[in-house]
Amino acid sequence: MKQQAGPSAARYSKLISAVPRPISLGALQRSIQSSPRAVAEVYFRRELGSRKCKKVTCSSSLVPHSDNSDFGLQDKEEQILELREETIRSEEVFNGRLVKLRVDTVRLPNGKQSTREIVVHRGAVAAVPLLDTDTVIMVRQFRQAAGECLLEIPAGTLDPGEDPQACVSRELEEEIGYHSNKLTLMFCSYLAPGYSSEMLHTFLAEDLVKVGQHSEEDEFIEIVEIPIDEAVSKIVSGEIKDAKSICGILMAQRFLASR
């Protein structure tokens, strides 16, 4: 039986509907100029296609400085760059199958030294697979680090030098047994930039064709088909706890609504 979203999910949907639709950079700048106190968030373009993510440099020209700003915005890009830390030396202390652990000694902006423990990860992919316009294919699996079974969207680690789109195609076939004829990169995100270099590429996977599941030997997965509104309800209730799944499902919902 299809579960209806509860009141909390309804309130959440109202918040989502209030988020601005994707806008051009010019429109964003005009909006900011008319309201200097605004804090702008640049959302994904309507037609992302399968382009790769690029690093974005913050520019103070997008957000005019105001002496009365509650956010302490700087009006010079050079002042923003003063936040950077200089790496003095790095030491690799662990080299595992999936991650490495590196300890960096850094010089802080005030000239003092400190250490940073960095988990070096080659990156990962995730996908929100849509069977139709409102049904998401998810997986339930036990996660040793969390100590419990989690409901998640399909995901996996990039092989060395692997293209994210090729990787997500492979992971979809391995985990849920589907090939996607339409992959759209929705966004890229750092999962835990305080200590990890891992970058996650999250796709919307549509036009699915069943090809048969072939999971790895150490993977035990239950496939779950769920309406996207019900998935959002489970996010609001706290049943879905996995960060990549929360971000991916909410972004997919917004992405579909913007079409």
Q: Which residues are catalytic?
A: 217
Angstrom distance (rounded) from CA 11 to CA 230: 14
Residue 146 tokens read as 């969390």
CA distances from 237 to 61, 146, 255 (A): 40, 18, 22
β-pair type (113-121, 99-107)? antiparallel
| SS3 category, 105 | strand
Residue 174 tokens read as 């391995």
Bridge partners for 23 per DSSP:
none
Which residue carries 């994904």 as its tokens? 44
